[in-house]
Protein backbone atom coordinates (compact mmCIF):
# COMPACT_ATOMS: atom_id res chain seq x y z
CA UNK A 1 0.00 0.00 0.00
CA UNK A 2 2.89 2.40 0.62
CA UNK A 3 3.96 2.18 -3.02
CA UNK A 4 0.45 3.11 -4.11
CA UNK A 5 0.29 6.00 -1.63
CA UNK A 6 3.64 7.43 -2.72
CA UNK A 7 2.61 7.20 -6.39
CA UNK A 8 -0.69 8.92 -5.60
CA UNK A 9 1.17 11.63 -3.72
CA UNK A 10 3.33 12.36 -6.76
CA UNK A 11 0.33 12.44 -9.06
CA UNK A 12 -1.87 14.55 -6.80
CA UNK A 13 0.91 17.09 -6.31
CA UNK A 14 1.03 17.56 -10.09
CA UNK A 15 -2.74 17.94 -10.25
CA UNK A 16 -3.56 14.64 -11.92
CA UNK A 17 -5.17 11.35 -10.95
CA UNK A 18 -5.12 7.88 -12.51
CA UNK A 19 -8.31 6.42 -13.95
CA UNK A 20 -8.25 3.70 -11.28
CA UNK A 21 -5.95 2.54 -8.52
CA UNK A 22 -4.42 -0.49 -10.17
CA UNK A 23 -0.68 -0.40 -10.59
CA UNK A 24 -1.17 -0.38 -14.37
CA UNK A 25 -3.18 2.83 -14.05
CA UNK A 26 -0.75 4.35 -11.56
CA UNK A 27 2.29 3.55 -13.71
CA UNK A 28 0.57 4.79 -16.86
CA UNK A 29 -0.21 8.14 -15.27
CA UNK A 30 3.21 8.39 -13.61
CA UNK A 31 4.87 7.85 -17.00
CA UNK A 32 2.74 10.64 -18.45
CA UNK A 33 4.12 12.98 -15.78
CA UNK A 34 7.70 11.89 -15.02
CA UNK A 35 10.40 9.54 -16.38
CA UNK A 36 10.06 5.95 -15.11
CA UNK A 37 12.84 3.42 -15.71
CA UNK A 38 11.58 0.26 -17.51
CA UNK A 39 12.73 -2.00 -14.64
CA UNK A 40 10.69 0.01 -12.15
CA UNK A 41 7.68 0.00 -14.47
CA UNK A 42 7.87 -3.80 -14.85
CA UNK A 43 8.25 -4.36 -11.11
CA UNK A 44 5.25 -2.17 -10.33
CA UNK A 45 3.09 -3.75 -13.04
CA UNK A 46 3.86 -7.18 -11.60
CA UNK A 47 2.23 -6.01 -8.36
CA UNK A 48 -1.17 -6.14 -10.08
CA UNK A 49 -0.68 -9.89 -10.34
CA UNK A 50 0.65 -10.22 -6.79
CA UNK A 51 -1.94 -8.13 -4.96
CA UNK A 52 -5.64 -7.34 -4.88
CA UNK A 53 -5.25 -3.57 -4.92
CA UNK A 54 -8.76 -2.30 -5.70
CA UNK A 55 -9.64 -5.53 -7.50
CA UNK A 56 -13.23 -6.66 -7.95
CA UNK A 57 -11.98 -10.22 -8.33
CA UNK A 58 -10.85 -12.48 -5.53
CA UNK A 59 -7.36 -13.60 -6.45
CA UNK A 60 -4.78 -15.64 -4.68
CA UNK A 61 -2.08 -13.26 -3.55
CA UNK A 62 1.59 -14.17 -3.74
CA UNK A 63 4.08 -13.32 -1.04
CA UNK A 64 7.28 -11.95 -2.57
CA UNK A 65 10.52 -13.76 -1.84
CA UNK A 66 13.54 -12.05 -0.27
CA UNK A 67 15.04 -10.76 -3.55
CA UNK A 68 11.72 -9.40 -4.80
CA UNK A 69 11.02 -7.81 -1.42
CA UNK A 70 14.43 -6.12 -1.44
CA UNK A 71 13.71 -4.71 -4.90
CA UNK A 72 10.25 -3.48 -3.85
CA UNK A 73 11.73 -1.77 -0.79
CA UNK A 74 14.28 -0.03 -3.00
CA UNK A 75 11.51 1.12 -5.36
CA UNK A 76 9.52 2.28 -2.33
CA UNK A 77 12.46 4.39 -1.20
CA UNK A 78 12.69 5.97 -4.67
CA UNK A 79 8.94 6.64 -4.72
CA UNK A 80 9.11 8.10 -1.23
CA UNK A 81 11.94 10.44 -2.21
CA UNK A 82 10.06 11.52 -5.34
CA UNK A 83 6.88 12.09 -3.32
CA UNK A 84 8.74 14.20 -0.76
CA UNK A 85 10.35 16.25 -3.51
CA UNK A 86 6.97 16.74 -5.21
CA UNK A 87 5.05 17.73 -2.11
CA UNK A 88 7.57 19.36 0.21
CA UNK A 89 9.80 21.01 -2.37
CA UNK A 90 7.18 21.68 -5.03
CA UNK A 91 9.16 19.97 -7.79
CA UNK A 92 6.54 18.30 -9.98
CA UNK A 93 9.18 16.62 -12.16
CA UNK A 94 11.20 14.44 -9.75
CA UNK A 95 13.81 12.23 -11.37
CA UNK A 96 14.23 9.51 -8.74
CA UNK A 97 12.46 6.89 -10.90
CA UNK A 98 14.52 7.63 -14.00
- In the chain, where the domains are located: 2-88
d(CA 38, CA 10): 18
Q: What is the DSSP string of 7-71?
A: HHHHHHHTT---SSSSHHHHHHHHHHHS---HHHHHHHHHHHHH--TT-SS--------HHHHHH
Tens digit of each residue's pLDDT (9 = 90 or more) over 13-59: 999 999 887 899 999 999 999 999 999 999 999 988 777 665 566 66
d(CA 26, CA 45): 9
pLDDT score of 64? 81
Amino acid sequence: MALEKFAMCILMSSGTMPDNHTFADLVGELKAQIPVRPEIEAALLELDVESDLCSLEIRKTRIPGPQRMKMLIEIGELLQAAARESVLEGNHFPLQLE
